[in-house]
Structure formats: structure tokens, C-alpha cells
Chains A and B, each alone.
Chain A
């Protein structure tokens, strides 16, 4: 599985919605899609936002949502807030783990 492709930058104003794409995801041999998304603030460890394409861990606001179409996964951040400014990474597991290059989200 090759590295996943993300746009390097994204931006939006407070209250708006932003969608980040992640191209190159694939299913594992059983046909399951293990796409996950992470938020990382400077100097901090990544935080899991979405797993298995569209599931949110406990404590993650429902402003964060995930979806997939073909080999592209999407992370949508609705109702942008200042604290959403961070780096976002996608990851896919299909027998091996690959990450996207990351997207720097700026809240204007």
C-alpha cells in the first residue's frame, strides 16, 4: 500500500465547514475499511478523531465526521472553532499501515 495523499493545506472561517480528502485508501483482505483520522496540535501527540471510516471515539465532538467514496476518504469538520487549527492525518490499514502526509488546517 502506497502512502496516502492529502492536500497540504486547508482553511475556513469560524462556523464554516471544511472537508479534507485522503486518496489511496484500500480495504483489507476481508473487505473491511480501516480508515482513521488524527488531529495533532504543535508539540502534542496525535489524537484519534475517527476510526473505521466514520466512527467517533468517546469524547470526540460530532462536529468531526468521516466518510469514504471509493479509494478516497474524507474528514469533515463542521462549525469550525479556533481550537480546530491543527494538523490532520489520515491512516489506512490493509495488512500494513500507511499515513497521509498531513493537512494543516487554518481557522481564518
Chain B
């Protein structure tokens, strides 16, 4: 049973960079499309983007120019960087994995518990 765990600073200052890491345990990071999804307080789910184990990425156009994802297969981790954050980026950030390997982010079967990141000075 794969498990995902988000980690990183829970408080980020406006205009700075949000950096989070997702650690995958109980399974390999290979052959899956790993996504980041966020949820602003009281709002719905928002897909940020995905990274494949090869390093191939695709991002939600809403975040393009501000987002970057990376993967480290040696540590079974992948990461999110979101630059120039504002209060609107305050949200619970989740990492997630689909049901099926190598098929794209077709769904989100496994989720981390989420980490609340607050953007505030």
C-alpha cells in the first residue's frame, strides 16, 4: 500500500517561494504520474501539475511561469516550487498518485494527508 507524505514550510512570506516535498513509501516512484493538488480554505480542488519519474512535467496553465516540479528517484521523492506567492496561494497542498501506472494523471487514487501552507508576512 503506497503512502505519500507532504513536508515543507507551513508559513511563507509574500513574494517568496513555496517549496514542498512529497515522500513516497511502500512503492516505487517509477512509472507513475505524480501530481500536486491544492485546496484553498473553503474552496474546491485545483490541479497544479504532474511530474513523471523521467522528469517530464505538465502544469496547469493557471500556474505556468510560477511553478516547477522535480523528482529524485534515488530518494523516492518529488517536489513542488511555486514562486512569487501571494495570500491567494494559501491552501492545503496535496500530493497524489493515480490508479494506473504510465497512463497519465487519469485519477488520484492515493493521496497524502495534505499540508496547510499559509502565505503571510
Contact = CB atoms under 8 A, between A and B. Distances in A.
Interface of A: 28, 34, 36, 38, 45-48, 51-52, 57, 89, 91, 93, 96-102
Contact of A93 (B105, B112, B114): B105
Give 4 closest A-B pairs by Cβ, nearest first: A36-B107, A97-B47, A51-B107, A45-B111
Interface of B: 35, 44-47, 50, 58, 60, 94, 99, 104-109, 111-114
Q: Is the interface of A mostly helix, strand, loop or mixed?
A: strand
Q: Is the interface of B mostly helix, strand, loop or mixed?
A: loop
Contact of B45 (A47, A51, A99): A99
B45 A45 contact: no
A101 B40 CA distance: 12
Contact of A99 (B47, B58, B94, B112): B47
A93 B58 CA distance: 13
Contact of B107 (A93, A96, A98, A101): A93
A48 B45 contact: no
6 contacts: A36-B106, A48-B107, A51-B107, A93-B104, A93-B106, A102-B45
